[in-house]
A and B are shown apart, each in its own frame.
Chain A
Amino acid sequence: MKTRRSLIYVLICGILVVLPVFLNAYWVDVLNNVGLYAILALSLNVILGYAGMFHMGHAAFYAIGAYTTAILNTTYHIPVLWLMPLSGLVAGFFALIVARPIIHLRGDYLLIVTIGMVEIVRIALINNVFGITGGANGIFGIARPEFFGFRIRQPHEFFYLIWAFMAVTIYLFHRLENSRFGRALTYLREDDVAAEGSGVNTAHYKLAAFVIGAFWAGMVGTLYAAKMTIIAPESFNFWESVVLFMIVLLGGSGSIPGVILGAFLVVGLPEIFREFATARMMIFGAAMVAMMIFRTEGILPPQPRKYPPVGELLADEAKP
């Protein structure tokens, strides 16, 4: 069972590596968008899927990452890829400040506050806050990323950059999921009173989940800014947050393969049905309703955790 699963994953990776060779620039670009959304949704998954906090304002962190990159790159000409961790830090720091007072709000109250947050950020960007965001037109002329002197500009070059970052993301989040930290988040998602009673500092863990998710979204913001070379406030509206929210829940919240599949469905599928033009989004909406009725937990819900029996654990401890 386990070998069959890993075989499927290796096969999918193999297909992805050679795919750009067979596709034209348009479809490679679609795959790039799917990749960006998938990474963003994975970062949201830490907050929404693992920790179970209703967060519908993820585009705010993404926007802050993208704008940090754009501003520092266009004014100080710092290479884009160097700015990636910095953008992540700025977004994470922002999350730390705004999430602290709202972290204790219950489910739906948190939902509306995060929606409010993304709207405030967007309006601040439109109103050219501090005079550095370029107002409604946004910022243009962001440099392309350079990799050891190689300038990335074609869609298929971006494809490898984005999907390589995706591989790193999957690896790290998989580790996170199975760490002490990840288990604590799952615990407080299922029952935060019990978690608190068992000595899990819930406020601390919730805040940490927010900051990690925001950090990662900020880094994706850098990739987005570098790919588009022009960013505007309307790219980070409330609807983007809703799309990310849908990706996570449709795919299977808390499950890494599920979230990636969700990104393919929500971002990729409407592109495939582009011929049907206007009716496609209507059908898409109806399909979402049907999907939730027939697969309530999402398409690929996380598999239950399995641990070796207690006897083996004790034997392991007794060994050394």
Chain B
Amino acid sequence: MEQFFQQLTNGLAVGGIYALIALGYTMVYGVLKLINFAHGDLFTIGAYLGLTLLTSLGLADRLGPLGAVLLLAVMVMGLVAIIGAMLERIAYRPLRESPRLSAVVSALGASIFFQNAVMLIYGARFRVYPHDILPKIAVNIFGLQIPLIRILMLLTSVLLMVALYLFIQRTKIGTAIRAAAIDQGAARLMGIDVDKVIMIVFLIGPSLGGAAGLMVGLYYGQINFTMGWVYGLKAFTAAILGGIGNIPGAMVGGILLGVIEALGAAYISIAWKDAIAFCVLILILIVRPTGLLGERVAEKV
């Protein structure tokens, strides 16, 4: 039972990361109907920027561990958001009116560009995060020893998701984003600046991805320039699992995928871990072709 709960909390923590990245995919898909294949690499950039800022600024000495990590998160999210908005401006905006797959190829090109840029700057080897940032203590919850960082990660991702959900549901800009996702043309006629909405989506999505990158760096302690593809693929799977374009769907899909993976690795087979996640995805899509929370789209005739 002990092992089950350990795996469950681990799965929840990893699932939170998947969910944060998946939100970037799903929000972009919602307004542009584009799979942003470069999103995983924005996540990598977040992890590397976190490393650079952490080692060069010496925040931990001045602000204490929690303050340092918090400030770091804000800076990383801001920087990655700027890169994301630039990506949209350069690589996606000129392709807004063209066939959907052209934009996908442009996204793949941008992904190759980012991945190799990171490799050129930081080298191809694994880079190690300083391991003494957050205190390595375990918290006792109902007799379970759970590492503090795991709890912090889960809390952070839940907090970010709740904030995003409130932003989308309650604010004027959030309403505009939802309107643009339903029908861009109609939204434009209602006086919504769709270009601005898309720009905001490309600020929010990448900033969440960047935060996830930082969290992976702090949790696992090492990062690599190809990890964007690995996590990006998982997060994309999560977004599809929940129904792409649907924001709560991405959250549910991410957490679910993390838990399935952790439990599958522990109880079925660790070598088949990635395959289990995909098998579950395929089975769910066979039963529900538009994902768990995806709307049923009636075919127009």
Contact = CB atoms under 8 A, between A and B. Distances in A.
A10 interface: no
Interface of B: 29, 35, 90-91, 94-95, 98-106, 108-117, 119-120, 229, 233, 236-237, 240, 244, 271-272, 274-275, 278-279, 281-282, 285-286, 289-291, 297, 299-301
Given A113-B281, A289-B91, A284 B112 contact: yes
Given A112-B240, A116-B282, A278-B120, 19 more contacts: A102-B282, A105-B285, A106-B297, A109-B290, A113-B282, A119-B278, A123-B272, A126-B271, A127-B272, A193-B301, A238-B229, A249-B104, A281-B116, A284-B112, A285-B110, A288-B106, A288-B108, A289-B110, A292-B106
Nearest to B278: A116
A287 B106 CA distance: 9
B134 to A, nearest CB: 33
Contacts of A238: 229, 233
Contact of B109 (A106, A124, A288, A298): A288
A42 interface: no
Contacts of A119: 233, 274-275, 278
A120 interface: yes
A248 B35 CA distance: 18
B95 A288 contact: no
A246 interface: yes
B285 A109 contact: yes
B120 A282 contact: yes
6 contacts: A112-B236, A116-B282, A197-B301, A249-B102, A288-B108, A296-B95
A193 B299 CA distance: 8
A253 interface: yes
Given A112-B240, A246-B105, A296-B102, A123 B90 contact: no
Most chain A CB within 10 A, of B35, B101, B110, B116, is at B101
A69 to B, nearest CB: 24
Given A108-B35, A109-B291, A116 B237 contact: yes
A86 interface: no
Most chain B CB within 10 A, of A101, A112, A288, is at A112
Interface of A is mostly: helix
Nearest to A281: B116
Interface in A272-318: 278-279, 281-282, 284-289, 291-293, 296-298
A291 B94 CA distance: 12
Interface string A92-114: 00000000011011111101110
B278 A292 contact: no
Given A54-B101, A249-B101, A253-B101, A106 B35 contact: no
B286 A102 contact: yes
A208 interface: no
Contact of A108 (B112, B240, B274): B240
Contacts of A109: 240, 244, 285, 289-291
B99 A297 contact: yes
A157 B298 CA distance: 55
A115 interface: yes
A242 B271 contact: no
A250 interface: yes
A140 B277 CA distance: 31
A173 to B, nearest CB: 20
A118 B130 CA distance: 36
Question: Top 10 A-B pairs ranked by shortest CB distance?
Answer: A288-B109, A285-B112, A285-B113, A116-B278, A282-B116, A296-B98, A289-B109, A292-B106, A123-B275, A281-B116
Contacts of B94: 293
Contacts of B237: 112, 116
A54 B181 CA distance: 22
A111 to B, nearest CB: 7
Contacts of B117: 282
Interface in A230-284: 238-239, 242, 245-246, 249-250, 253, 278-279, 281-282, 284
B278 A120 contact: yes
Contacts of A113: 281-282, 285
A106 B112 contact: no
A249 B98 CA distance: 13
Most chain B CB within 10 A, of A108, A246, A279, A291, is at A108
Contact of A282 (B29, B102, B113): B113
Given A108-B244, A113-B281, A113-B285, A250 B105 contact: yes
Nearest to A194: B301
Contacts of A242: 108
Contact of A123 (B99, B101, B116, B271): B271
A180 B112 CA distance: 39
B113 A289 contact: yes
Contact of B285 (A102, A197, A292, A297): A102
Contacts of B101: 54, 249, 253
A194 to B, nearest CB: 9
Contact of A292 (B109, B113, B289): B109
A297 B102 contact: yes
Given A105-B285, A120-B278, A292 B291 contact: no
Contacts of A105: 285, 289
